[in-house]
Structure 1
Amino acid sequence: MLSLKQKPTVLMTSKTLRIIGILMLITTLQSCAVATVVAITAGATMVADRRTFSKQIDDQSIELRAHNEINKQKALSKNTNLHVVSMNGIVLVVGQAPTSYLRELAIKTIQEVPDIITIHNQVRISSTTAITTRSNDLWLTSKVKSALLNNGDVNAQDIKVVTENAEVFLLGLVTQKEADIVVEITRNISGVSRVYKAFEYI
């Protein structure tokens, strides 16, 4: 038989469990809400994209397979810093390789990936960039994107911005007029050393 002193402890435990259960439910619902917002945002972005839905999926597949193939090559995974970006089958490869042999090996490896239309080889023969440089590249990319968002003559969602060692590469399906505007905006961002176009014109 339980003593009177023990009963409150049992009741307290039951109440605590109920509270914990409620808190867990709230947390779960909040997580679902966040996931829903992310899904809606991603969906809106995909709808606004000038590429067809299937092309968007193809581009994601190209990037994933290219990086996987690079990682399979130990010489590339250990000694290079490479990034592959695909836009409507037009692939941009940026980064650093210590030798021309490794740069050529990287491009040859990526060429084996299906659905690629064109490859823009912008890999520099040099040592890999430092963390500080990469952080600065992220900052420059955000500055360019912000400037594009603030311009009413272009849709920033149509432009993919890639920054590598202060060099900015621009991809997207754009008109000639839009390309000129985007390049002009980008070249006037403080810290940008050079601007490269890899646009597909519509």
Structure 2
Amino acid sequence: MTRPQHADRPAKSSRRALLLGLSAAIALPLLQGCFPVVATGVGAGAAMVSDRRTSGTYVEDEGIEWKVAARIRERLGDSVHVNVTSYNRNVLLTGEAPNETVRGQLDGIVAGVENVRGVINEVAIAPNSSLTARGNDTLITSNVKARMIDSGAVSAHNVKVVTEANVVFLLGIVPRSEADAAAEVARTSQGVRKVVRVFEYISDEEARRLDNPTGARRN
């Protein structure tokens, strides 16, 4: 897969207010631990259908996130703050570790989880971030997603946004044009100090094929 690249239109206030309001409502429970929230019910079904990953890979990614987070917690406890994001079975790690030795252990923990294809370790050597900082990152993520919707240049369904210490990581299976559009939206969003691309690139033709599958949903 492609390695990370360290690299306005007027807002529609009603949609952005809704997204930011939802973010504020869920921020506190999200900040209580490093485990990802798994979408369930109708919301998960809708997200799965619109996603460019196969339905099987979508479910695998959710499971990978839970397994990796649980093993990190079991092995390292509160000595680290690590967020785990799996996309198309490639695992992005963000957060903080106390030293390089502990940071290096994370790679082995992830590699030991079934179905993982690769690891992108972006964990910083630093003290664990504060709840205030994590809340700010959550709001930045929501703002970037809202601005993607407003821009009309890229579908928020096709780009996953993760923010850590004001750095925005972008994941997805996208053509270069979508990657550039998403990166520009993120780069020009308030509070963002850097954008890191963690995309898998495909052709425009392949993107159209994935967005308009014929027959049954891919498994």
TM-score normalised by the shorter chain: which range applies?
0.7 to 0.9
Name the TM-score, length of structure 2 as normaliser: 0.72
Residues 115-143 of structure 1 show CA distances to partners (whole Å, capped at 9, x for unaligned) of: 11121110000001111111100110010
Structure 2: tracts of 5 or more residues without a match: 1-39, 203-219
- Paired-residue identity, %: 37
Amino acid of the structure 2 residue aligned with 1:43? G
Partners of 2:105 and 2:43 in 1: CA distance: 38
Residue 165 (str. 1) matches residue 165 (str. 2): yes
* Aligned pairs (5 A) from 1:32-43: 39-43=41-45
User: How far 1:40 moved relative to its partner?
Assistant: 2.5
* Aligned pairs (5 A) from 1:139-158: 139-158=139-158
* Aligned pairs (5 A) from 1:128-143: 128-143=128-143
Higher relative contact order (CA 8 A, sep 6+): 2
User: How far 1:107 moved relative to its partner?
Assistant: 1.7
Partners of 1:84 and 1:167 in 2: CA distance: 15
Partners of 2:110 and 2:59 in 1: CA distance: 18
Partners of 1:146 and 1:90 in 2: CA distance: 25
User: How far 1:68 moved relative to its partner?
Assistant: 1.2
Q: Which has the higher helix share?
A: 1
Please give the secondary structure, in 2, of the residue aligned with 1:57. Answer: helix
Please give the secondary structure, in 1, of the residue aligned with 2:116. Answer: coil
Partners of 1:158 and 1:133 in 2: CA distance: 26
Partners of 2:94 and 2:170 in 1: CA distance: 12
* Aligned pairs (5 A) from 1:63-142: 63-73=65-75, 76-142=76-142
Q: 4+ residue runs of structure 1 moved beyond 3 angstroms?
A: none
Amino acid of the structure 2 residue aligned with 1:129? S
Name the TM-score, length of structure 1 as normaliser: 0.78
Is contact 2:111–2:118 with CA below 8 Å preserved after alignment? no
Give the CA RMSD over aligned residues: 1.1
Larger Rg: 1
Please give the secondary structure, in 1, of the residue aligned with 2:122. Answer: strand
User: How far 1:41 moved relative to its partner?
Assistant: 2.9
- Count of matched residue positions in the alignment of Structure 1 and Structure 2: 163
The aligned counterpart of 2:217 is none
Residues 11-35 of structure 1 show CA distances to partners (whole Å, capped at 9, x for unaligned) of: xxxxxxxxxxxxxxxxxxxxxxxxx
Amino acid of the structure 1 residue aligned with 2:151? N
Please give the secondary structure, in 1, of the residue aligned with 2:127. Answer: coil
Structure 1: tracts of 5 or more residues without a match: 1-37
